Structure 1
Amino acid sequence: LQNLIRERQTAMQIVWTREFLKYFRTFFGLAAVILTTGYENRAVLLPILPLSFVFSYHYDMGYGTLLQRIKG
């Protein structure tokens, strides 16, 4: 019974991550386009770097290898 509960919690976490990724992908894409257009100063692009790490982490967690590494 505990194994079933743990599997359901893991499944809920995967679903939540995938749903979060849909919204974050839209935000990240819009932010990247807005920050890259119309600015002479390239320092404005710095927020894209940490956002790309957050995006990559959630993509990895929701669609594959991070969960495989956790399960061992």
Structure 2
Amino acid sequence: MGSSIAKGMKENQKEMQKEMQKKQLDMMLKQRQTQMAMQFASGKEFFHWYASFYALIFPFCIMGALKKKSPLPIIPLVPLGFVCGYQYDMYYGDKLQRIREEAERLIDREPQLFYFPKNAHIVSQEEYEEILGINKNNK
């Protein structure tokens, strides 16, 4: 009788641990999602301010170039335009998807890029490969 109670308690404890791990994972994923959403929203907000600044200085640079009869005032528009285009692509285009796909490719095909230095004392190379499921034959 005592062994069956102990057995039942062990099974119950294992189920509780699994449930607790699931709750922790759920909370971690929700926290990650919230942090990413905040960063993304912050980036969009920054883009709006930056694009407004660019739209404001654009006509002044053009007028300055026409007034001075020199292309020098237009030169700052080129790098500023690239930055504005990059941010637009990131927050309203598909740049984030392209970055995610490249990250997945790097993890799958070039995992050695993410190895710890030999003397990091965090985890051994073998443990790292075992945790991530890296097959040594795929290197």
TM-score normalized by structure 1?
Answer: 0.85
Indicate whether 1:2 and 2:31 are aligned: no
Greater RCO structure (CA 8 Å; 6+ sep): 1
Deviation digits for residues 17-70 of structure 1, max 9, x if unmatched? 111111111110111110001331112111000001110111111113111112
Mapped to 1, the partners of 2:93 and 2:61 lie a distance apart of 30
Tell me which structure has the larger Cα radius of gyration. Answer: 2
2:40 alignment counterpart: 14
- Confirm or deny: 8 A CA contact 1:35 1:45 kept in the other structure: yes
> RMSD between aligned alpha carbons?
1.4
Aligned pairs for 1:19-30 (under 5 A) are: 19-30=45-56
* 1:14–1:61 contact (8 Å) kept in structure 2: no
Structure 2 alignment gaps of length 5 or more: 1-26, 102-139
In 2, Cα distance between equivalents of 1:25 and 1:67: 19
Separation in structure 1 between the aligned mates of residue 95 and residue 32 of structure 2, nearest angstrom: 17
Structure-2 residue corresponding to 1:48: 77
Count residues in correspondence: 72
